[in-house]
Structure 1
């Protein structure tokens, strides 16, 4: 796991050239340049061309770029994957992954198409079968870097409701979180669909932080601020983290493995999390 910020991951329709141009100035940590759900069937080829041109043109700064391809069971999936392999993007996101073999197949195709070793592979987790196979999927390829929750498709498949606490989907979210953390992967929460529900978005972001997600996928630039604020350590958390690190270092210098800070026991595991927060804050600042 790295401290690379992934607080906000904004879907950008590949068929919208204006949106792709605008993306270079948006305060998103990640951009998911979409060839799949956000693109009509008759615009798939155009979207691929525009996304490849946008990535090649640069101007995205430190934003992490993923290209979401169409599935290999569609007429466009293979061409998408082949083109993305040498596009210059940081990673490729494949949809509706349900098995380890789907990951390995994508890896083989990317390698055959000339993908560099550092091109990351990300997977959409959005079906019941995918959730049940999360453990196997998470360990399927050394190229695999992260999971993205597709909660809209998941709710549809489960016949579940989009409730405030998302209890109908909490088991599925937990299975993916366990698999991702067990195998050192990043993991991003699903989207919040109601663009006018600012309070609901903020609550969903807080829940995502509490559950352990690295960030949230978003469908509109107006949602960026809420995600960036929620998934970044605040000033109080950073100050506390630095105090833990300093107190533990002092204790270790005195030959002690544990120390009390504000009446609470601090061990190496707490210090590791504190260091992660400090590193994350530094990466965000950078």
Structure 2
């Protein structure tokens, strides 16, 4: 882990997607953060030590999913499949496919595991929120808040849209693993990777953190809200700074009396290798995305934090 000193920064963006606005001043206390996303090698140690079974390895109970189609009550998860031709990008079903037998050991489906694919030092994927939370608890750590993640991803740069400055690829340099070309059918692979890349492939930011942008989305603690929390104005009109915000309140069908029920949405941060200029330009610190907590995919991973004084 590396230490991220506390501080105040401008969170959000007003240039890309509405859910990132407004710009707001936020302060966070110092914390330790995993240098990289949790890798398959690290996650395997957790599984070996605990015998934990991930969400994707458990067949869904039809009682929890009214309207489930016949034959879908088998273990599996979502896998990205590149299309052969241009498709309607408003329909993610054109490239996301539920694959029986897909899980963290078999991120692309049951036909090949992480050993055969040579993925030990790649970020673990096919991770649902409960899986990330279980690993963090075992490791004596926690998951970051949205504010902590964004603060760390910026690496001390203020007012920049990208984690490294104002240009996505300065002088043509590939500084993160994202999709180059037209999504979801034409990936030029200028960075050398069709899917995930090994951790530490790209330069660390000023805090010494790798892959805070792209490669894989990462879970945060915060419940999703369309409009981020903003500070209320003080008497006289000046605006105060949010201190260590913890994100949205639970909404929708979540029942606090049954916290183990896998419903509700958490905030993902960082973007992934599927973010492209023509679709999902979320390879930026301010970017955020909602994800159902029971969902695992081939582009979602996580990393942990330890807060100073805890």
Q: TM-score, normalised by structure 1?
A: 0.24
Greater share of helix: 1
Bigger relative contact order, structure 1 or 2, given CA contacts below 8 A and separation 6+? Answer: 2
